[in-house]
Structure 1
Amino acid sequence: MQLFHVETMTCQGCAAAITRALQAVDGTALIQTFPSIRLVKIQSDLDQPTLIEAFANAGYPAEPYTGDQRGES
């Protein structure tokens, strides 16, 4: 399971756009989005750089989640 922080994901519409973009590069990925905490969980065989590129291409820059992003505990 890979975790990503997406600062610009603020609503379900954003989450849906991100999910579509990720599924376009990996149709078998399991994706969970949590807009209220700006977190995306992905189970995929793709590597982190490829997933980060998919986020960016969708207009939602992402970074690996470290657990210490602003507002997280």
Structure 2
Amino acid sequence: MQGNPATDEPIVIGNEFSEVHVTKVRTRNGMRLRIRDAKSDREILLCPLALESLTWQNPDLFTELLSTPYGPEDE
């Protein structure tokens, strides 16, 4: 069976806390990186500029994001 020509095989990255599948995807707007959470099946497609913007961030931002991973809770 042949794979989808618009995607590459996923790279699986995981540890004891999380597992994600990362795939390069060709869209009509160019290449994107698909990141899919194996547990929740949530995914996001990121363009090269969105990926580059991650390199502009201080690691403290990611610590802050992980403190409320699904957004702030309603009061």
The structure with more strand, counted as a fraction of residues: 2
**Relative CO higher for 1 or 2, CA cutoff 8 Å, sep ≥ 6?**
1
User: Normalization by structure 2: what TM-score?
Assistant: 0.24
Q: Which has the larger radius of gyration?
A: 2
User: Normalization by structure 1: what TM-score?
Assistant: 0.24
The structure with more helix, counted as a fraction of residues: 1
